[in-house]
Amino acid sequence: MKTLDDLLAEGVAGRRVLVRADLNVPLDGETITDDGRIRASLPTISKLVSGGARVVVTAHLGRPKGAPDPKFSLRPVATRLNELLDATVTLAHDVVGDSAKAGVDGLADGEVALLENIRFDARETSKDEAERGAFARELAALVGDGGVFVSDGFGVVHRKQASVYDVAKLLPAYAGGLVLAEVEVLRRLTGTPDRPYVVVLGGSKVSDKLAVIESLLPKVDKLLVGGGMCFTFMAAEGLGVGSSLLEGEMIDTCKKLLAEAGDKILLPADVVIADRFAADAATETVLVAEMREDWMGLDIGPITAERYAAALADAGTVFWNGPMGVFEMAPFAEGTRAVAQAIVDGNSYSVVGGGDSAAAVRALGLPEDGFSHISTGGGASLEFLEGKELPGVAVLEES
């Protein structure tokens, strides 16, 4: 695939460049609570700005229902980009309408126009190829003759959407630095990773991770399970789980996975339980055989954390996706902190698989440079590891 470096070598001064970025940051009102994805997008945008390009950025935020919705506006993102970029960033008030056209037409070399939330137009996510294609043609028209496309939103490359897939068929298309780095990292994980290869999986549901578990089990040396999903595995072993999160329909599947895995899968030996889901709940740490009937498990316990840290200590490669507990609440953050710290303290090639894991690294104050790579695309990372084709990558390889 052609890369950002190839484009820069051709020269971008005075050219309009359409960039699909992933700026889908968490918000509390209009306050960005984690700007990691914005910062991850800066290198590609900055290189284009420095080269004198007229940069047109598309991105989504949240899940608007195909129409403008003020709570999903990219206004806070535009403000943050203006703070972080050594360039002027203007926000259009629409996606491909008069404001977008005026904003793009008014760009000088080295300036940036951010279009409003791409998902305010229902055609972006349409299953109808003709609808997506029509929208993609309007996006391509914004950059006009001589315009090019840079795909840098790794968090969306597993989606066949207009601004990710269809527009790459209309314009000369290049992989941005972030997409290229992500693909190279994941290819290393699916190739011949240094051993022992240890995978840490957390999060709430086994069903969300089933495909990646089935794909990874034959390839890994250890699979450490935490988060809400561990309780379905525990139920599969005949243990009581109180009022913890449980996918009853997945118990038989977990039994099958445990039987096939032998000693590869490690489950918690102890858990932190609470009488309710709240930061000020009454808590207790118990062995898994001693779960209280009406209490819920919200974190792995210290024995488990120590056991998992030992498994990570001599790992050659680590992939971590999903927190060990409800890290947003202080009483249930220590399991995630301990596992993350063990990865930082080790000498492995370590990849954090985006999403809540990446947010946890920042929220818990862990050093981001303590990991070899922190992904921006949890879902895309998992689908790559499952062996699925990522449409937004495949189209770059074809162009």
User: Which residues are documented as binding site for (2R)-3-phosphoglycerate?
Assistant: 37, 119, 159
Known binding-site residue numbers for substrate: 22-24, 37, 60-63, 119, 159
- Binding-site residue positions for ATP: 209, 297, 328, 354-357
Residue 205 annotated to the active site = yes
Choose the catalytic residue: 37, 123, 307, 337.
Answer: 37
* CA–CA distance, 13 with 108 (Å, rounded to integer): 10
Q: Is 355 considered catalytic here?
A: yes
Residue of 337, 328, 342, 335 whose CA lies nearest to 365: 337
316 is catalytic: no
Catalytic residue from among 205, 292, 362, 388: 205
37 has catalytic annotation = yes
Q: Which of the following is catalytic: 39, 169, 379, 388? A: 379
Distances, alpha carbon 220 to alpha carbons 191, 261, 305, in Å: 12, 10, 20
- The active-site residue, picked from 177, 203, 228, 355, is 355
Q: Which residues are catalytic?
A: 37, 205, 355, 379
